[in-house]
Structures are given as C-alpha cells and as structure tokens.
Amino acid sequence: MNDAATSLDALFRPGSVAVIGASRQARSIGNTLLKNLVGQGYTGTVFPVNPAAASVHSVKCYPDVGAIPDALDLAVIAVPAARVPGVIEGCAAKGVKAVCVISAGFGEVGPEGAAAQARLLTVCRRHGMRMLGPNCMGLLNAEPALRMNATFASTFPRPGQVSFLSQSGALGVAVLDLAEDLGLGMRMFASLGNKADVSGNDLLSYWEHDEGTRVVLMYLEDFGNPRKFIPIARRITRTKPIVCVKAGRTVEGGRAAASHTGALAGADAAVDALLEQTGVLRVNSVREMFGVAQALVACPLPRGPRVAILTNAGGPAILATDYLVAKGLTLATLSEATQGALRTALVPEASVGNPVDMVAAAGPQEAARSLELLLADPGVDLVLTIYVPLSTNDPLEVARALFATPQGAREAKPVLSVFLAREPLLEAIKRVGAAQNPIYSHPEDAVLAAVNLLRARALRDDDLGASVRVPVAGTRAGARLAAAPASGWLAGAQALALLEDYGIPVVPTRAVADLRGLAVAARELGGPLALKLDGDAFLHKSDAGGVALGLEGPAAVVAAAESMARAAEAHAPGAAYGFLLQRMAQPGTELVLGVSTDPVFGPLLMVGLGGVYVEILNDVRFGLVPLTPTLARRMLRRLKSFPILEGARGAKPVDLEALEQALLRLSQLVEEHPEILECDLNPLLARPDGVEVVDARVRVRR
C-alpha cells in the first residue's frame, strides 16, 4: 500500500473522532453529525467539541479540541467559515491526523474564500494532516468493524462492497438513501467538496488497495487532473470496475470555436473518449449507476449479449425484449435439448421458446428447474427472470427457489431478477437474496444493468495497445512552426507542408506569391490545376471568389489569378495574400480530420465523413491524444457512415490502412507540438489506392 493510501486511513478508519461544532440544537449540522455517529453505532470514540454545552446527545462535551484527553485520528469540523482557521490550528497542535471540513464559504465563494482555503491547506500540509473538503458533506465507512457515519444522511447503508465518491454533497446524501432502497450494500462514501487536499484520484488510489471495495462509483462534475486520473483509472479498471456519472453533458456544449472540429467537439466528447480510454463505465443517471453496481458485486461478467428471459407473465417479457433489442442485446436461441427439457418441466400452456413463459400458475419448482436449464444452455450468456407475484403462489417461495438454485451455474453466468412487486413484499424478497442476487422492480432497470455488465466486460478486456511512434521530419516541422507567427493561423501552404512533414499525403501544391511565379509553377505541376487564394483575410476562400478549379495550362492559371486578385481587392482592400496552386485531386470519398484542444483534457482528434455527413448528420468520432492504432481503427469503424468507406453499393473500399495512418500521424504531430491548438484537414480524399489532403488549416499559439 502506498503512502497516499495509508494516509487516508485516519479519515476512513479513525479510532477516535472529534465533532467540532457539535450542537444541542435539533436539525443543526453539528447535531445531526453527532446523532449519526453515536446513534448508528460508530465503534470508535466520539468527542463533541462545543464550549457552550456540557454534553450533546448524552456525550460529554469539550470546550476545544486541545481539552480532549485522548489522541485523535479525525476531526469533523462544522463551525462558521471564519472560525475554521483557528480550529484547524488547534487540530494541528493537538496532533489530529485528518480533518473533514464541512463548513462552506471557501474556494466556492470567490477569490477571498480561495485564499482562506489555501491558508488552511498550508497549515494541514505543514503538520502532515490530510483534509477532506472544505464545503463537503462528510464521509462514511459501513464496514461492520467501523460503522462510521460522519455525514448528514439519516440512513446507514447495509455493509457491502461498493465505494462511492461524490462531487455533489447533497446528491451523495440522497443516493445513500437510494442505495438502501435498492438493497445495495455500501463500503465507503465520501463527499469531495472543494477538493483542496484529498482529491478523487486520492480516493481511487485508496480504494484500489482496499480489499473490501470491489466496485467504485463516482459522481463527477469536473475532472481536476485528467493526466493523473488516466493512469490510476486505467490500472484500477483491470481488476475493479469503476462506474461514473459525469454531470454537465450539455452545459459546456455550446462553446464557440473557430474551427469545424472545435465546434463539433463539446467538452463532453472528450469526457466520453477519456472515460472509455481508461476503461471507466460511463452511465447517464444515478439510478443506472446503482443498477449496474448491484449486478457487478453479485454476478460474473457475461461472455456475450445473448439473453434468455424466464417469466410467468408474457407482457413484461415482451416489453423487456423490445428494450433489450433496442439496446443492442439479443434474445438467445434456445437449443432443442433445452426446449425439450422445459417442455417436460412446465405445463403444456407454457411457451418454451425465448422468452420462456411458464404462465401464471408456475411455482418455485418450475422456476428453479427452468432457470437451471437456461443457465446450462451454451447459447445463453445471461438470464433475466421476470416474476409477477400472483395470488396462486407464494412469491417469497419462488424468490427463494430462484436464488437457491444452481450456484455453480450462477458463478459462470449472470442472473438478473425482476420482481414486479411493491413494498413490503419487495423488501422481503431483498432480505432473502439481495446480497447475492441483483434484484430489480422494473424490467427496464434490469435490462440496462445487463447492457452495462456487457459494456463493463468489454472495457475490462479492452486492449488499446500502445501508441506507436513513426519516423517523421520532426525537425523540419519544428522549424516550420517556429517560423510561424506566435499566435494565429498558418498560411495554407505551410499547413499542408506541416502535414507532409509528418508523412500525411497532401495534393502536390505550390505556394506562389504573385502572378509571375504562377506560370512556372503551373508548368512544374502539370495536368489540370486548382488555384486558391491564400491569406488570413480569406479563410473562407470560396466566399471571396478565391477558388478556381480545372485550369488547363499556365495561361488559364494566370487569367484566373488576375480575376481572383480583383475579387480579393474588392473583398478585403489592401489585405495581404498569395496563391496556392494544386494539382486537381482524383475524386474520392471526402473526409474531415481535425484536432481541437480542450482546456482540461488537451488535444482531441476528430474524424468524420465530409460534406453533408459531418454537417447535417453529425456523424463524427473523437479520440484523445495519443491515439493507438486500435483507437484509430475504432474511431473509423464507429462512424455510422463507415460502410461507405468499406465500399457500399459495390464500390471498392478505400485504403483504410492509409486513413488510420493519417489519424495516427496527426495524433503524433499535435502531441509533439502542443503549440498546435486546432486544425482541420478538410477535405481529405480517401480512395482505394490511398489518401490525400486537399486543404488544411492549422492554428497555433505559443
């Protein structure tokens, strides 16, 4: 166990806790904290601190932390912000190992608060004291040996193997309630607050080494340090699933950006890419997060998407089928042997195809035997049982039978159980089996959990490979970028040349300053030519009459350039410009490649088919730099329009290898040159014999 991890023991496994700001006033924070610690059976010793009271909740009070006779592992601080610095000094003097600052009024309220927070941190660091918060809602450890609830949550969760960190305190408290409703056992919980000292990454590292934590849940609103998060999360997810709700999908979505790629890449695309590349399972809601957590602690991961449904009621099974197919799972095809055995086990009205409908009268024996048969069928990866309690059987007996049967088979395949029951029956069913069996009251929740189990398996087994470095003319590119303006867009020819430095094929191009050079360049290039105006004032060339295509021979080029020069003068009088002369590209499938830079996550690569696909259908994919060959291939294959690249309607497939290479080289370019903020390769033409960039824009800032 590393140092960071050990040092959190004082927070999560304290032998003694002081509550500073303990209060006799009902509903106050200091009162509730003490009530929860004492009333819910914390196994260590609690010391209330309040100069104005003799006792709180019958426990002797101390005027200040210094007056406490015993050594202290943890102090939970709930006093007004102005008094926190003094209290922290007192804790440091007393030798308290860790503090949890509930008090608000620090970094979240502006520069003054941030300064005060920084001073707290300085004191903590000087004395080797860890700090959770400030502005947090506390922490909890449900291990039976500890039973510490240092939060406002009135519910003490049943002990389990799920640890949960929340960036929203109120949400964290509410979801402890939800977990209990679902029968989900918890291990530890912490509200992060302002993350002055203890960060999400610290908690991940701590739980990585906590044997009792099998699944980690996170509710995040931002990433403090994604570069630190990536290696930690990637390591943990090989052995323990991490499930994350990241809020704010849409809030930052509308950022203005000058490039095509920037406009399409909301910050959320970066979050999606980051989480997938680190093996973290991203879900959309707390309910969905808890639903999959129930399954992750109790079940193996499924080997595939083939679901068998066992039910005593047709309707809910049909609805579940609709939903699971819509979510990408499949209905397993049961073997003849399985169907034959089911026919023997069930009444004649039963339907032994999948979904298996045992019909309403089915009791415990039928349910248990059918489940056994379905688990034994090699064509089944996962079983979903949907039971509607009817008067004709004791539903608790059915639940017991389902839970008791074939433990061996259950260890190989997940069984998710839906009981369309209400309280108190549902609670009784959970008491019978919630520890070993994920139990749901809505088929949709169970299907979503199944989908997420399959995603969790894919993420765990996902081998992204290593990023590969190709030999490039890096020195030339460096010199080229050094010669560019410190901030702004590279001239078109320079942008193309930069790509060529990194081995990305571009259409043969000449940058020519004036009319005189054009005739020479036209002769050199040969063939039909394209002429383009090149200059800062003409970024949208075609608007300025700045593109002429299919020019044959030097005379045609010069004539076009003369007319272009007049148009340029009219469009932006006096603006500087030059010309780009290019050999006309062979027709191909238009793609757009691009890079945008996220302030938190760094460069983000984009690929999409060009033209209407990218603009109207928004069919683009993103990947974080550095790409690996596996990721590059995946970005392409996940495009909805990928069949076009593969050769739809009898066309030849484009050179996918060359396309992947272009993505990888672009990734390497921006990784090696962080001064590149944005670029668009638009269009890049893909053909069966290779790819070629026709136009490119690059923005730099040093």
Q: DSSP letters of 254-271?
A: T---SSHHHHH--HHHHH
State which of residues 602, 641, 671, 674 lies at the interface with a second copy (CB under 8 A). 641
> Least CB distance from residue 506 to a second copy, whole Å?
23
Q: Which listed residue (423, 514, 536, 569) binds a second copy by CB under 8 A?
A: 423
State which H helix or E strand residue 47 sits in: strand 45-49
Which of the residues 356 through 385 are near a second copy (CB under 8 A)? 360
- Cα(66)–Cα(432) distance, integer angstroms: 49
- Which residue number, 261 or 393, has a Cβ lying nearer to a second copy? 393
- Asked if 541 touches a second copy (CB under 8 A), the answer is no
Which residues 227-286 are close enough to bind a second copy by CB under 8 A? 245, 247-251, 253, 284-286
DSSP code per residue over 142-161? --TTT-EEEES-SPPPPEEE
- Distance in Å, CB of 29 to a second copy, minimum: 7
Give the residue, chosen from 118, 145, 170, 549, that forms a contact with a second copy under the rule CB under 8 A: 170
Interface residue with a second copy, options 615, 637, 647, 702 (CB under 8 A) = 615
| Residue 472 binding a second copy, by CB under 8 A | no
**Alpha carbons 78 and 95: distance in angstroms, whole number:** 19
> For residue 283, what are the β-bridge partners?
245
Q: How far is the CB of 398 from a second copy (least distance, A)?
A: 12
Residues 135-164 close enough to bind a second copy by CB under 8 A: 152, 154-155
Sites for a second copy among residues 13-72 (CB under 8 A): 27-29, 31-32
Cβ nearer to a second copy, comparing 89 with 646: 646
Binding mask 279-318 vs a second copy (x if CB under 8 A, - otherwise)?
-----xxxx------------------------xxxxx-x
- When binding is defined by CB under 8 A, the residue of 215, 267, 644, 696 that contacts a second copy is 644
Residues that bind a second copy (rule: CB under 8 A) add up to a total of 78
Q: Which ranges in 127-245 belong to alpha helices (H)?
A: 169-182, 200-208, 226-236
Please list every residue from 386 through 415 that binds a second copy, using CB under 8 A.
Answer: 388-394
Q: Any long-range contacts for 320-323 (C-beta under 8 Å, 24+ apart)? A: 320/355, 320/384, 320/386, 320/418, 320/443, 320/444, 320/446, 320/447, 321/355, 323/443, 323/444, 323/447
**Judged by CB under 8 A, which of 90, 138, 169, 683 binds a second copy?**
169
End-to-end alpha carbon distance in the chain: 41
- Number of neighbours of residue 84 by Cβ within 10 angstroms: 27
DSSP 676: E
Q: Give 529: exposed, middle or buried? Use CB within 10 Å, 0-12, 13-18, 19+.
A: buried
What is the smallest separation between the CB atom of 57 and a second copy, expressed in angstroms? 13
The dihedrals phi and psi of 605, each to the nearest 5 degrees, come to -90, 145
Burial bucket for residue 411 (CB in 10 Å: 0-12, 13-18, 19+):
exposed
Opening angle at CA 680, ends 678 and 683, nearest 5 = 175
Q: Shortest approach of a second copy to residue 109 CB, angstroms?
A: 7
The two most distant CA atoms of the chain are separated, in Å, by 101
Residue with Cβ nearer a second copy (145 or 251): 251
Cβ nearer to a second copy, comparing 423 with 689: 423
